[in-house]
Amino acid sequence: MILFTRVSKRYAHGNEALSQVSFHIDKGGFLFVSGPSGAGKTTLVKLILAMEKPSEGSVIVAGRNVSALATQAVPYLRRNVGVVFQDYKLIQNRTVFSNVSLALEILGWRSADIRKRTTQILDRLGIEHLAKHFPQEISGGEQQRVAIARALANNPPILVADEPTGSIDPALAVEIMDLLVDTHKKGTTVLVATHDKALMKRYDLPRIHLVKGRLSSPGKGGADAAD
């Protein structure tokens, strides 16, 4: 479902964010990507989303080669990938219900189907009671639940979360990670980029570890490095 083969990413002035990174996540699999700030985690996420293209190697996402992807094909790729960010990226002047339903509106779903699906996903994540609230009226943990609901609204086969617990306290971080693990157990392919070692230790799940853009020692479950 996600395959990196000897991927390097270089920016201006020779700055190498990733160097010869290889790993794979099978359909329905889960992978933690760990490492300190500046290790290359966000660059890796950008490559999956086709926000960047590799300087070397290949990135295959949902059967599509990001390196060779035409500009007009990028939106189709991103429909297959739900994304959760550390800073939520909710629209402040839209309610929780409207934030979650927006992706479906963009995809052209019928109004009745949008209402039904949005209600279902809010209920699944335990935030249906927040439907009429605005982001600034709810807590950080609740906002992250809304962000996850939005990412899952169109039932994408892949979910990518970039430091999804970085802005919330440890107890809420566990709740958010439990939601992501539960999403994986329901069949979604999940990649979580995080620097939180304590949180990863709670879950017996595959992981890779980046240090200055390179993978560390061999890991398990199709990953090439472990924390």
Neighbours of 197 (CB within 10 A): 12
The rounded distance, in Å, linking the Cα atoms of 67 and 70 is 9
Question: What mean pLDDT comes out for the span 42-59?
Answer: 95
- The answer to whether 65 and 74 have CB atoms below 8 angstroms apart is no
Which string of DSSP letters, residue by residue, matches the chain? -EEEEEEEEE-GGG-EEEEEEEEEE-TT-EEEEE--TTSSHHHHHHHHTTSS--SEEEEEETTEEGGG--GGGHHHHHHTEEEEETT----TTS-HHHHHHHHHHHTT--HHHHHHHHHHHHHHTT-GGGTT--GGGS-HHHHHHHHHHHHHTT--SEEEEESTTTTS-HHHHHHHHHHHHHHHHTT-EEEEEE--HHHHHTS---EEEEETTEE-S--STT-S---
pLDDT at 114 over 80: yes
pLDDT of residue 208: 96
Average pLDDT, the chain: 91
**Residues 6 or more apart in contact with residue 181 via CB below 8 angstroms:** 30, 190, 203, 205
pLDDT at 20 over 60: yes
pLDDT of residue 188: 96
pLDDT of residue 8: 97
Rounded CA Rg of the chain? 17
pLDDT at 49 over 50: yes
pLDDT of residue 14: 76
pLDDT in tens, 199-227: 899 998 999 999 999 998 544 444 444 33
pLDDT in tens, 73-91: 888 888 899 999 888 899 9
Percent of the chain past pLDDT 90, that is, above it, reads 74
pLDDT in tens, 88-98: 899 999 999 99
User: Nearest to residue 194, comparing CAs of 217, 227, 164, 220?
Assistant: 164
pLDDT in tens, 95-113: 999 999 998 998 899 999 9
pLDDT of residue 217: 56
The rounded distance, in Å, linking the Cα atoms of 137 and 130 is 9
